[in-house]
Amino acid sequence: MPTKATNITADNLITEYAEPIADAVGLDHADYPRTADGLATLLRDAADALGSLDQSRDWLEEAADDLNAVARLGDDGPKTQELLKWVDNALYEAKSDLALG
């Protein structure tokens, strides 16, 4: 289930999703900075490791795009929180899908 924190942060998302997503595609999450940009890069690299028809690839790429916007906006504010909630949901779906695959 997506993170239940009142305010979602990039750090919450990194803690919850970076390692299992990286592991699922043979990457090391520790190679990426613990920032929104670092997580976005990890997600793009993970997406590149998946087939072009894999739904998880779409979720990872879209989440990476939104994390880049979060990095520009900062971790607070209603617009940022909406983006982070979408990212949380997308990463939850991708993580679940990758765990089944």
Residue 74 confidence (pLDDT): 73
d(CA 37, CA 5) in angstroms, rounded, equals 21
Find where tokens 């909630």 sit: 85
| Domain ranges within the chain, ordered by starting residue | 10-100
Percent of all residues in the chain with a pLDDT value above 70, rounded to a whole number: 93
Give the chain's radius of gyration (CA, Å): 12
**pLDDT for res 4:** 52
Report the pLDDT value the prediction gives residue 6, as an integer from 0 to 100.
Answer: 73
Q: Are 95 and 2 in contact (CB under 8 A)?
A: no
Residue 81 and residue 89 in contact, taking contact as beta carbons nearer than 8 Å: no
Contact residues for 71 (Cβ-Cβ < 8 A; gap 6+): 10, 35, 36, 37, 40
Compute mean pLDDT per 10 residues along the chain, 101 residues long, and list them: 68 95 95 94 95 87 93 80 93 90 63
